[in-house]
Amino acid sequence: MTDSPVLLNKHEVERCLSYEDLIPRLESVMGKFSKRDSSEIIQPVRSVVPIAQHNGFLGVMPAYLAAEGILCTKMVTFYQRAEGSSLPSTQATVLLFDPEHGHVTAIMDGEAITAKRTAAVSAISAKLFMPALSKVLCILGSGQQARSHYDVFTNVFKFKEVRVWSRRREMAHRFVNDLQGPVRVCSSVKEAVTGADVIVTATGASEPILFGEWVKSGAHVAAVGACRPDWRELDDVLMREAVVYVDSREGATAESGDIVLSGAQVFAELGEVINGSFPAQREKTTVFKSLGMGIQDAVSAKLVLEKWNSEH
């Protein structure tokens, strides 16, 4: 007979998951993943079930980290919502299992984990690829991912200016009003990105909104939207002229419309740069295409449970 699983809501997950603890764990696990040792890490490409009549998808993201004793899966739904909809575009739940006996040990809110681990990985990419003395951060989007990226980027780095654009201007102003520091709302993507050193794209776009001709030479783009092979945020010019890094080659070539439709070549995985097997070409324009990985959810969930257990 096993104990009932721990149930953790969004507030508890957010409280138990700090970027200070999360970033080094993610760097470590992504480095291990890129070594492709199947005896240590097993992570298939995300399985996706289309929900065509409702413009949605169900994704299942399992991972097993043998050395850490972590067996985990995330179930996530993502929808293309009508403009003006108050419904979230993504919702998620994470399950942790006992890898020896197979029972569920924890069920926790997956939206907070997704937001924080995605932003933390983007921050790792920026640490490796953004120009030295970067001064201007631009965030395209105004949802949960935009907020988590603002939080970690302004915590880890020191920017002199932060700009925000959203398709709906009122959403951009609402987003900015919830923030602590000074942020400028821009009326167009071009205005927002011109001269920016670091650009985060966290939108629900299915067609390109960021064009290479607007992007400063040497800038770094962390692209976290467009998670389907027929969705895009970035145009062909940017994808073909930049040095492209990804979280997983298999995931990127199967799921990223920015890569599949542009024909862009993937230079390296983030983990390969962390391992030192590929260089960080900081002097060039770089794109980090993030699709999210089950191993990222797994180490994040383990951190949350460790913190919660230490308090109870």
Q: What is the pLDDT of residues 247-258, one digit of tens each?
A: 999 999 999 999
Which pLDDT tens digit goes with each residue over 125-165? 999 999 999 999 999 999 999 999 999 999 999 999 999 99
Q: For the segment 241-287, what is each residue's pLDDT rounded down to a tens digit?
A: 999 999 999 999 999 999 999 999 999 999 999 999 999 999 999 99
pLDDT tens column, 173-226: 999 998 878 899 999 999 999 999 999 999 989 999 999 999 999 999 999 998
Residue 294 pLDDT greater than 50, yes or no: yes
Q: What is the mean pLDDT of residues 106-134?
A: 97
Residue 93 is inside which H or E element, if any? strand 90-97
- pLDDT score, position 88: 80
Q: State whether the Cα torsion 191-196-201-205 is positive or negative.
A: positive
Q: Which of 114, 169, 125 lies closest to 147 in space, CA to CA?
A: 114
CATH class given for the domain over 114-292:
alpha beta
pLDDT at 131: 95
The tokens of 48 are what?
């996706």
Given this chain, do its domains 6-113+295-311 and 114-292 carry the same CATH topology?
A: no
Task: Look at residue 1 in the predicted model and tell me its pLDDT.
Answer: 46
| C-alpha to C-alpha distance for 150 and 128, rounded to whole angstroms | 18
Residue 269, sorted as left (phi over 0), alpha (psi -120 to 50) or beta, turns out to be beta
Q: What is the average pLDDT value for the chain, to the nearest integer?
A: 94
Task: Judge whether 93 and 74 are in contact, CB under 8 Å.
Answer: yes
Tokens of 30: 């992504």
- Residue 133 and residue 183: Cα distance in Å, rounded? 19
Q: From CA 121, how far away is CA 30, in angstroms rounded?
A: 9
User: Longest Cα pair distance anywhere in the chain, in angstroms?
Assistant: 62
Residue boundaries of the structural domains of the chain: 6-113+295-311, 114-292
Percent of the chain with pLDDT over 90: 87
pLDDT, tens only, 139-149: 999 999 999 99
For domain 6-113+295-311, which CATH number applies: 3.30.1780.10, 2.40.50.140, 3.30.360.10, 1.10.10.10?
Answer: 3.30.1780.10
Q: Which two tokens stand for residue 49?
A: 């079930």
pLDDT at 82: 75
Q: Say how far apart CA 191 and CA 53 lie, in whole Å.
A: 37
Residue 81, pLDDT score: 77
